[in-house]
Amino acid sequence: MAGKATHPSQLTFTDLDLSRWKEYEEVETDSLWIIPSRASGNGHQLDYHGNYVPQIATQLLTRFTRTDDVVLDLFLGSGTTAIEAANLGRRCIGVDLKPDLIAAVSEKIASTLPSDRTALFSGDSASEECRTQAEEILTRWGRDRAQFLLLHPPYHDIIRFSDSPEDLSNAPDTDAFLAMFRRVAENGHALLEPGRYAAVIIGDKYAKGELIPLGFQCMQVMQDLGFRLKSIIVKNISGNEKGKGRDSNLWRYRALKGGFYLFKHEYIILCQKPLR
Ligand SMILES: C[S@@+](CC[C@H](N)C(=O)[O-])C[C@H]1O[C@@H](n2cnc3c(N)ncnc32)[C@H](O)[C@@H]1O
């Protein structure tokens, strides 16, 4: 047929309307995210060492999910994803090894936000039982799979989250950490709807004077599992950093002496599960 091709203004994975794209100034499209400070309010608190800033969830869920979509977070922690999913009218399945954390997040959500669309449970996200339990929730909610996957694992042993051997922060070495991450990511891949997006939030570490590029290594795991790499976003971590004043001067001294640079960034690795 002759004439101008028409372009759909609605994509399947977002509520953003492309015909209004100029209005979405707050939506990031660049790969460098400088977030000056953590957003608070709307249910968010800085109450867990190692939680991510809520603005990451706001950005990702706005661009890559639609109202009522199910967001799956297999390292829930203090529930940043669940809280922001509720704020944005998305549903959330969240899993963490620590039962006390799940209880605390459930209580927090129940006291401030509608909780009937949030299902949180404790367990090992690498396990078959975790996958089965998540599938049961999806069935109850009338969905075959989740519409977004968020993975914010421990940055290996930088922060130890528990004494449990299933905890990725207790992996004896980098290879074991990556093997454990792979099993969780495999569950995530199986539970994610084809065509939909996944994000891994991860930083690197130093060990024995050498940089261990956990971000790129986890990215490789995602690609090995069949995810398509869409973006590597670099985000500043100055809003989160501890140790101001004398401590940070000491780190500066150590960096100068050891011939390395202090981490001021982490990664958000954005992937898509192919349609087939
Ligand atoms: C970096 S924190 C996640 C923080 C979270 N995104 C937030 O904003 O609060 C990593 C979490 O992974 C959990 N974890 C570690 N190994 C796990 C496993 N095998 N299964 C489920 N959760 C695990 C830890 O208990 C910890 O709460």
Judge whether 45 lies within some domain.
Answer: no
For 248, the enclosing helix (H) or strand (E) is: helix 246-258
Ligand 1 center from residue 2 Cα (angstroms): 55
| pLDDT band at residue 2 under the 50/70/90 scheme | very low
How far is Cα 139 from Cα 155, in angstroms, rounded to an integer?
Answer: 32
**Does a structural domain hold residue 96?**
yes
H-state helical runs in 26-173: 54-64, 80-87, 99-112, 128-140
Inter-residue contact 242 to 262 (CB < 8 Å): no
pTM (predicted TM-score) = 0.94
Q: How many domains does the chain have?
A: 1
How much of the chain is in helix, strand and coil states, percent to nearest 5?
35, 20, 45
Distance 250 CA to ligand 1 centre (A): 29
Cβ–Cβ under 8 Å, residues 146 and 72: yes
Quick one: pLDDT at residue 244?
54
Is the residue at 23 inside a domain? Answer: no
Report the share of the chain in percent with pLDDT over 70.
Answer: 93
Each residue's pLDDT tens digit, 179-222:
999 999 999 999 999 999 999 999 999 999 999 999 999 999 99
In whole angstroms, give the CA distance from residue 127 to residue 135: 13
Q: Give me the CATH number covering residue 125.
A: 3.40.50.150
Q: Which residues span the domain enclosing 145?
A: 29-36+50-272
Estimate to the nearest angstrom the gap between the alpha carbon of 122 and the chain centroid: 17
Distance between Cα 54 and ligand 1 center (Å): 16
Q: How far is CA 54 from CA 7, 72, 80, 150, in A?
A: 33, 16, 6, 13
Distances (CA, A) of 275 to 68, 69, 182, 194: 21, 17, 21, 5
200 occurs within a structural domain = yes
CB 70 within 8 A of CB 147: yes
Task: Evaluate: CB of 48 within 6 angstroms of ligand 1.
Answer: yes
The yes-or-no verdict on residue 3 having pLDDT over 70 is: no
Burial class (CB in 10 A: 0-12, 13-18, 19+), 116: exposed
pLDDT digits (tens, 9 = 90+) for 83-136: 999 999 999 999 999 999 999 999 888 877 766 799 999 999 999 999 999 999
